[in-house]
Amino acid sequence: MKVPDELLAQSDEGAAPRADHVAALRDFLDANRRLFVLTGAGISTRSGIPDYRDRDGGWKGATPIQHQAFVGQLSKRRRYWARSMAGWPAVARAKPNAAHDALHRLGRAGHIGTLVTQNVDGLHQAAGNRGVIDLHGRLDRVVCLDCDTRLSRHRVQEMLIDHNAGWLHDSDAIRPDGDIELGDVDYERFVVPDCPVCGGILKPDVVFFGGAVPKKTVARAWTGLARAEAVLVVGSSLMVWSGFRFVREAAVRGLPIMAINHGRTRADDLITRKLDDDCAALLTDAIA
């Protein structure tokens, strides 16, 4: 179903939600008891973590690092880890916001059958949600690509600092990937620590652009969608296939689909109704 133009009216982030949007979301929740909820970067902006895209779905800045570039080029790994060392503490300090808390309340009330997030910040779990499907992994974990050793990101931060005295290792600035812009620095001087077990390549346990979501993770999400009565999208433009596919399939199955998102989404012609509003304010008012 094509979204009517009048439903695309913008509501500024942080402003009170539109009353008709609150009523529409309440009606949607009352009518559908088992939801498949899919969240994106827009749900975490109130926590200080920027999103990737503008209202038209375009990149706000440089495109994120690609999987093959990270795996295949030491220079790219140096650049990534140098920037991540400076940006990680701000991500680690981030706290769940009202949107995460509202979804936690909705889950406790039995309305959420499956909660899938495209985010890697772990804020749904920090808000108390259990059984979250982290579609793109978690930034607070690191994996060795050679021996599959798992390390905490905090441990790797200690290793990065030990190897790179004098480099910036904490900042309030942050980009969507959990890194920051460092300006004109010589990345060739940056030392990337190896896996302490086998000496292999350490990588954040996240799906970089161009990488593949693990099959088991995708299977869990499909199982959740098969049991759902409706789909609620929160803070996602759905421009990435990994999330869009579930909305497309929901439309094929004739499930009601509601989306809360500022601006255009890839699924505008599939969504039953879109509410262009601040997700934290709207969810808070609609979920008592």
For the annotated catalytic residues, the residue numbers are: 136
Q: Within 13 Å and on the Cβ side, how many CA atoms surround 31?
A: 13
Q: What whole-number distance in Å separates Cα of residue 276 and Cα of residue 288?
A: 20
Instruction: Give the CB-side neighbour count of residue 109, counting CA atoms within 13 A.
Output: 14
Residue 158 makes CB contacts below 8 A (sequence gap 6+) with none
Q: Are 157 and 73 in contact (CB under 8 A)?
A: no
Token pair 């650049």 is at which residue?
79
Compute how many other C-beta atoms are within 10 angstroms of the C-beta atom of residue 196.
14
Give CA–CA dist 33/45, Å, rounded.
27
Q: What is the DSSP letter of 269?
A: T
DSSP H/E element including 217: helix 215-226
